[in-house]
Amino acid sequence: MIQIILFIVNIALLQSCFAETPETYLLKTNSLPSDLNFMPTLGNGHLGYTVFGDAIFMNGVYNGAGGNSKRARIPNWLNISAEVCDRFGCATGNDVDVNGTSYETDLRDGYFRVLTTYRTLGISVEQRTYPHKFYNRALVYEVVAKRLANRLSKVNSPKFLKLTHFPGNSSDAFDFVVVNNGSSSSGDYRTLRGRTKVLELEKFQPDPQEIFVLFSEPLDHTLQLQWPTWQDEFTYRVIITIDREETVARKELQDVLQLSSRKLFQKHTESWNSFWDNEFSIEIRGDAFELSQIVNAGIFYLVSSLPSIETHQKNEPFYGLSPTGLGRGNLEADYQGHNFWDTEIWMLPVVSLFGYEYAKQVLDYRSRKLEAAKYHANTTGYKGARFPWESAYTGTEVTNPCCPEVSQQEIHISPDISFALQKFFAQSHDNAWACDTAWPITREVAEFLVSRASCDDSKNECHFLDVMGPDEDHPDVNDNVYTNAVSKIALNFAEWLGKTCGNTSTELLEKWREVSDRLVILRDENLDYHPQHQGYIPNTIVKQADTILLGYPLNFDTSTTHSNDLRLYANATRESGPAMTWSMFAANYMRSLQIQEANEYFERGYKSYVRPEFKVWSETPLGFEGSANFLTGIGGFLQALIFGYGALDFGRTNDDQFLMFFGITMTPPNVDEVHISSIPYGDAKCSLTFRNRSSSIECSDRIGQGFQMVQGQKKTVLGRSFNLTRRSEDPPIQISLLR
């Protein structure tokens, strides 16, 4: 009896591991994008590449000095194509069924495949490629050829598979040498050692970076794999492992090759399924199939650039999220793989919902580069820490030489980082992390802001002069209202955190408070709106979301002034603006309960930016030049859905409470209900289900002391778990953690 039960359990486990992927997680097409730049990007936080592209990139590996630094391109030896051949030649397109080739990205299982059915040969060939999510030093290519039942074969002669790799040109970033040729007599693997050619900045990078690439097959020539006539199914795989340490790459390859193709693939899909089932997912209910696919693809592309939490060997330090992710970075259109404010303002609020460890690894990049930020402040004549507009391996300024004014004037990135630290603390309530990681950064950023401010004692005012806000069409302005507002928030948080962590002087705290209190926030009293900067003339065209960010995400001003900002800047933002701009309009309109406008801008924020085949985002609307796989746009879009329509937020109140907020919810057009699973808050796990004007919030905290709900003047202790329903006529809900 026990054996029967075990057998049934094992069958159930196998079925769950190889269950058919739901259609909302399967992106399938019979024709490729006209621009292959919009092929899907695959990654695991250590390695990444674009399908059919000529480059592999590795976390933290850059080449080039200063503004010429960019992700160091590794030739894509995994870009392999399979052909079915016999002694008469190879199959051609004439042998393929009509629509006999499908290209698929399986978001739930985390891989890309090409499936071709050869009509006249009675054969199907599946090619599958993926960076392994658990064995994350490994890149996998597999081909499975099958003889189909009840199909006539034109030729019964023996077949062979011809595998040809297309790695692209030699790398201009590495000097590669063969350290082991992988000959059969040695019983070892072909191994290349690569060293980057140019240092980013010698002070913080005294030596070139070094990587090792190991191959399960040499790949220095076309492979011809014999397929005996008696064999119905033929499987072959190629594994490449890459790491800074040869021993790590070697162990990864050895351990992977001990597994069958089935078990290796199963371990990969289990890791991806575990993320969707246990860490984060969004279910869209209603007549919104394409929106569901876009949401799932957006989450997938973000997670693909983040480190896997559970891996076979310990992860290296993470080097941050760039606007187009880990699988790109060799081109100017990819922003060379650099880190911007995009990380903290546009992507991190969503990443923090995936799990604290993901967010901490992103923020740890800033912590590790604090000394470089202090160096940058000092060399530009200021105190404290000035985080560069663009950073890469060393954490120093690497903005493209084309645009010096950007690196000189977009100082808001430093308080942006402090703001992100505050938001994460409001969600996590991790006091040890706040004092160990957040405090050193916020303290040094506050010192930079004080030294950068120009204060006029006679008027009791402080200003930031000669700056550029998020709107990069307007350089050399004074008192950009976004820069000043986020700096106020940063200075106030530094003051609070200094008191909380108990290791700074009263004099220093008072200095920060004084500058914060005196910073000018421009407001036109006649028109009741915030001019973007001194001298701004209403209806002057701007590039992107700037002043409207004072509402969401800053929660700095949600008054009628903010409503007027939305109206005015909606008519003054250029049509070719980046994707996340319209998402921020949508989130802010939704929070102002201007539903028609929210719906309009939400749809505008993705419908003109997402390529249909694999739901890859463009930075600019279709028809304009811009970046591909634009994670910044994905982050803004998901924020509009979760924090706009879902009315969720984490933040700090005027009386220094750090809370979770729920407001009035709505759903996007054609959506009946949205369910968001596994939202972390403190030590708890929560889920949110929202509909038009009602929502259900469920949280469970098995470690802490429980929750308290504040609704208007009423306070209610909720215990260690609760399930609440809120209707539109109810006061907004605030949830605090009991300590």
Kindly report, residue by residue over 539-577, the tens digit of the pLDDT: 999 999 999 999 999 999 999 999 999 999 999 999 988
For residue 158, the model assigns a pLDDT of: 67
Both structure tokens of 502: 């108990």
CB 339 within 8 A of CB 417: no
In the structure encoding, which two tokens stand for residue 406, read together? Answer: 């950007």
Contact status, residue 111 vs residue 29, Cβ threshold 8 Å: no
CATH 2.70.98 fits 80-283, yes or no: yes
Contact 603, 563 (CB under 8 A): no
The predicted structure's pLDDT at residue 329: 93
Task: Quick: pLDDT tens for 388-414.
Answer: 999 999 999 999 998 899 999 999 999
Is-contact 331 627, C-beta < 8 A? no
Instruction: Return the pLDDT at 187.
Output: 60
- Alpha-carbon distance of 466 to 182, in angstroms, equals 59
Please choose, from the candidates 645, 622, 626, the residue with its C-alpha nearest in 3D space to the C-alpha of residue 692. Answer: 645
Tell which residue, 220, 173, 208, has the closest CA to residue 70: 173
Which pLDDT belongs to residue 5?
A: 40
Report residues of the chain scoring pLDDT below 70.
1-19, 150-158, 183-187
Element (H, E) at 695: strand 694-700
Domain 348-561: assigned CATH number: 1.50.10.10
User: Please, are residues 338 and 390 in contact by the beta-carbon 8 Å criterion?
Assistant: yes
Question: What values do phi and psi take at 147, rounded to 5?
Answer: -90, 125
pTM (predicted TM-score): 0.95
Q: Give me 560's structure tokens.
A: 């009628």
Ranges in the chain annotated CATH 1.50.10.10: 348-561
Who contacts 644 (Cβ-Cβ below 8 Å, separation ≥6)?
552, 583, 586, 587, 588, 589, 590, 591, 598, 602
In the chain, CATH 2.70.98 covers 80-283
Q: What residue spans of 369-438 are helical by DSSP H?
A: 370-379, 404-409, 413-428, 431-433
Closest residue by Cα to residue 420 from 490, 356, 468, 354: 490
CA 595 to chain centre: 28
**Among 529, 523, 530, 533, residue whose Cα is nearest residue 475:** 533
Instruction: Say if residues 114 and 614 touch (Cβ distance below 8 Å).
Output: no
> Is 147 exposed, middle or buried (CB count within 10 Å of its CB: 0-12, 13-18, 19+)?
middle
The whole-number pLDDT of residue 156 equals 58
The Cα–Cα gap between 655 and 672 comes to 37
